[in-house]
């Protein structure tokens, strides 16, 4: 999905075991297709069709994560049924939420409730504690499973909501960013060749996700090599091998 220079995609993944134990991040399994509500008005319940926007088909209990990218920084707020996916607070803050925010501020802890696309490239779920998140998982409304129901006791919004705010950059900054773009020529084991557009500060994982977009090969199934040596995790533009060729 694209909004001018901002892009996001919803990616399939494995649902981790639902218990108190922490799991490693599961692999990506391709993207979910997105469809416009307006194209399916006659086949959808009126309460859904009236909301507008887009929808993605998911099986119950299927999991996903959200990939973010942009040519320039954007401030993104993602809500799950009105619950902020960064702060885990409802968008209509009640008195207790305001007190929690005030306490965090007094303790000099982060009160941030948004993502900057140049700093973070994906969202795996709702945070429950530092470095721990609960996955985005498709569940039916009206049965108390949603984050919205557990936080507010009500299920009114449902779905995902995005609040997208572009940055205001100077023309010179925009030119500099464009000059930092470069292309990588790729060759698959079968001999197929193609080109991937990259940015100077892209991570190796970002390049693999570009390849996934182009070829459909999951990132964890891609050994990315240059001169027969695999890339280390990190910023691909800092690897001297790609500039020596």
Which of 139 and 106 is assigned the larger pLDDT? 139
Q: Is this structure's pTM higher than 0.85? A: no
For residue 220, being part of any structural domain is answered with: yes
Q: Count up the domains in the chain and report the number.
A: 2
Token digits of residue 156: 């009114």
The C-alpha atoms of residue 157 and residue 159 are separated, in whole angstroms, by: 7
Percentage of residues of the chain with pLDDT beyond 70: 80
Q: What is the pLDDT of residues 65-110, one digit of tens each?
A: 888 888 778 888 888 888 888 877 777 766 766 766 677 667 666 6
- 84 within 8 A of 148, measured Cβ to Cβ: no
pLDDT at 5 over 50: yes
The C-alpha atoms of residue 109 and residue 41 are separated, in whole angstroms, by: 45
Polymer length of the chain: 245
> Which has the minimum average pLDDT: 49-58, 172-181, 236-245?
172-181
159 and 129 part of one domain: yes
For residue 78, being part of any structural domain is answered with: yes
Token digits of residue 185: 């020529």
100 and 67 part of one domain: yes
148 and 235 part of one domain: no
137 and 187 part of one domain: no
Which of 235 and 126 is assigned the larger pLDDT? 126
Token digits of residue 70: 């942009």
- Mean pLDDT (the chain) is 77
131 and 227 part of one domain: no
Residue 45 CB partners (closer than 8 Å, separation 6+): none
- 79 within 8 A of 160, measured Cβ to Cβ: yes
Q: What is the pLDDT of residues 183-212, one digit of tens each?
A: 888 888 778 888 888 776 777 877 888 887
Choose the final residue of a domain: 125, 143, 166: 166
pLDDT for res 238: 55
Task: Give the domain CATH number at 186.
Answer: 3.10.20.90
Q: What is the pLDDT of residues 221-243, one digit of tens each?
A: 778 887 767 776 666 665 555 55
pLDDT for res 105: 67
> Which of 1-5, 100-104, 123-127, 223-227 ranks highest by mean pLDDT?
123-127
193 and 158 part of one domain: no
């Amino acid at each position: 999905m694209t909004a001018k220079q901002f892009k996001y995609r919803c990616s399939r993944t494995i649902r981790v075991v639902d218990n108190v134990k922490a799991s490693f991040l599961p692999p990506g399994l391709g993207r979910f297709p997105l469809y416009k509500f307006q194209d399916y008005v006659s086949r959808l319940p009126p309460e859904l069709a009236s909301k507008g926007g887009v929808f993605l088909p998911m099986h119950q209990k299927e999991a996903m994560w959200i990939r973010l990218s942009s040519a320039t920084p954007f401030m993104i707020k993602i809500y799950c049924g009105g619950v902020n996916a960064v702060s885990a607070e409802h968008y209509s803050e009640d008195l207790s939420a305001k007190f929690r925010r005030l306490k965090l501020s007094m303790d000099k802890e982060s009160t941030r409730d948004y993502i900057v696309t140049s700093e973070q490239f994906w969202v795996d779920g709702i945070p429950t504690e530092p470095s721990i998140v609960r996955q985005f998982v498709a569940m039916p409304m009206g049965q108390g499973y949603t984050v919205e129901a557990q936080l507010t006791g009500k299920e009114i919004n449902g779905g995902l909501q995005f609040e997208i705010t572009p940055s205001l950059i100077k023309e010179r900054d925009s030119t500099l960013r464009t000059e930092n773009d470069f292309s990588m020529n790729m060759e698959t084991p079968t001999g197929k060749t193609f080109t991937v557009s990259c940015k100077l500060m892209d991570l190796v994982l970002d390049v693999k996700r570009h390849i996934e977009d182009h070829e459909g090969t999951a990132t964890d199934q891609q050994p990315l090599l240059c001169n027969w040596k695999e890339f280390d995790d990190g910023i691909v533009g800092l690897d001297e091998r790609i500039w020596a060729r």
